[in-house]
């Protein structure tokens, strides 16, 4: 091989090493998708524990508020959910959807569905279902 | 060639080889440094994530203990009031269970909604008061005296008040050792 060719090979080796270095750097800096998985687990656990406790609450009686909302008066339900959320997760946005016999009766939509959790109750031969999710 | 005209051709070639070797070594060292730096960072993050998952599982396990539970995602306030005495009179057993087995530093349950009028710890003597449960806020169920690096994890829970047959919204806060 001529001297010039050997020098070009040396240059190519250095360039390859630089490229590998950049790939390693960007792979670790940008390609970190594990957080999304953990965020989903965190969000799903928070949503389900909130919804479970919310549906059980009897002061004020949430099942009564849902039945009233099914009848068209949802202000009290909205107020209670808003007050609860401001006490527990003050800075978080949420969305809420309420169905009676599979028909959407009322909703508070601050964002599209992310990881929704739902809970049902059956009262007076009607099924009331609440969907809740964090934004 | 500036400075290089004072050198002989062989010396210039040697100098060139030394410079190329130095550049390659610097690049290799930088590569290894970045690799281990990010590897260590990832490892640390994985450790934090795992301890958070462990904390979430612990929240479920502890609130399901017969000493506190009244069903799924529910704790009984009368049991919480009584548990402090039970834990104090069986210190060794609970230190072993909470501290050594679960790795818990503290466990506090707070009444959140409706918001209590007074923000203080609930005591057994409050149970018969007419204002109860709105005259106190928190139940300090367990506190480990052993100091150590810990973090808090919390979850929403339903608190059952058998004297009024009512469920209210609460929060369980666990201090977990790292």
Share of chain B above pLDDT 90, in %: 37
Q: Tokens for B105? A: 């530093």
Q: Which of A28, A45, A48, A49 to mutate to test the interface with B (most CBs of B within 10 A)?
A: A49
Tens of pLDDT along A9-58? Answer: 888 888 888 888 888 777 776 655 556 777 888 888 889 999 999 999 99
Closest C-alpha among B134, B142, B138 to residue B166: B134
pLDDT at A32: 58
Distance in Å from the first CA to the final CA of chain B? 62
Beta bridge partners of B170: B111, B157
Compute the distance between CA of residue B172 and CA of residue A109 in angstroms, rounded to an integer: 28
Q: Is the pLDDT of residue B1 over 70?
A: no
Residue-range domain boundaries for chain B = 43-177
ipTM: 0.75
Q: Mean pLDDT of all residues in chain B?
A: 88
pLDDT of residue A122: 87
How far apart are the C-alpha atoms of A92 and A90, rounded to whole Å?
Answer: 6
Collect all residues of chain B within an 8 Å Cβ-Cβ radius of residue A49: 73, 155-157
CA distance B97 to chain A (A): 24
At A4 the pLDDT is: 80
Chain A residues whose C-beta sits inside 8 Å of any chain B C-beta = 10, 13-14, 17-18, 20-21, 24-25, 28-29, 32, 34, 38, 41-42, 45-46, 49-50, 52-54, 56-59, 83-84, 87-88
Report the residue of chain B nearest A59, measured CA to CA. B168
Q: B109 in helix, strand or coil?
A: strand
Average pLDDT estimate for A82-89: 92
Please state whether the peptide bond connecting residue B136 to the residue before it is cis, i.e. omega within 30 degrees of 0: no
Among A25-34, A50-59, B60-69, B82-91, which is the least confidently predicted range?
Answer: A25-34
B106 by DSSP, 3-state: which? strand
pTM value is: 0.77
Enter the DSSP assignment of B96: I
For tokens 């928190």, name the residue.
B138
């Amino acid at each position: 091989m001529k001297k010039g060719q050997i020098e070009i090979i040396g240059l190519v080796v250095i360039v390859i090493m630089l490229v590998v270095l950049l790939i390693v750097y960007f792979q670790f800096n940008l390609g970190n998708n594990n957080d999304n998985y953990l965020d989903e687990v965190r969000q799903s656990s928070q949503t389900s524990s909130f919804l479970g406790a919310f549906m059980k609450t009897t002061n004020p009686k949430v099942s009564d508020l849902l039945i009233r909302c099914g009848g068209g008066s949802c202000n009290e339900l909205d107020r209670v959910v808003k007050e609860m959320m401001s006490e527990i997760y003050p800075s978080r946005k949420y969305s809420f959807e309420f169905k009676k016999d599979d028909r959407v009766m009322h909703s508070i939509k601050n964002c599209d569905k992310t990881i929704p959790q739902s809970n049902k109750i059956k009262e007076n031969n009607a099924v009331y279902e609440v969907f809740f999710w964090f934004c | 060639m500036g400075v290089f005209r004072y050198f002989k051709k062989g010396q210039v070639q040697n100098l060139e080889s030394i410079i190329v070797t130095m550049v390659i070594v610097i690049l290799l060292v930088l590569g290894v440094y970045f690799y281990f730096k990010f590897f260590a960072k990832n490892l640390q993050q994985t450790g934090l994530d795992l301890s958070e998952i462990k904390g979430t599982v612990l929240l479920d396990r502890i609130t399901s203990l017969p000493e506190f539970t009244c069903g799924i995602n529910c704790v009984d306030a009368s049991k919480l009031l009584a548990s402090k005495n039970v834990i104090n009179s069986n210190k060794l057993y609970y230190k072993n269970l909470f501290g050594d087995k679960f790795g818990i530093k503290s466990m506090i349950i707070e009444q959140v909604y409706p918001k209590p009028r007074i923000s203080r710890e609930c005591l057994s003597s409050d149970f018969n008061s007419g204002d109860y449960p709105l005259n106190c806020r928190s139940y300090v169920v367990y506190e480990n005296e052993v100091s150590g690096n810990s973090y808090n994890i919390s979850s929403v829970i339903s608190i059952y008040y058998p004297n009024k047959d009512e469920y209210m919204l609460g929060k369980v806060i666990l201090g977990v050792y790292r």
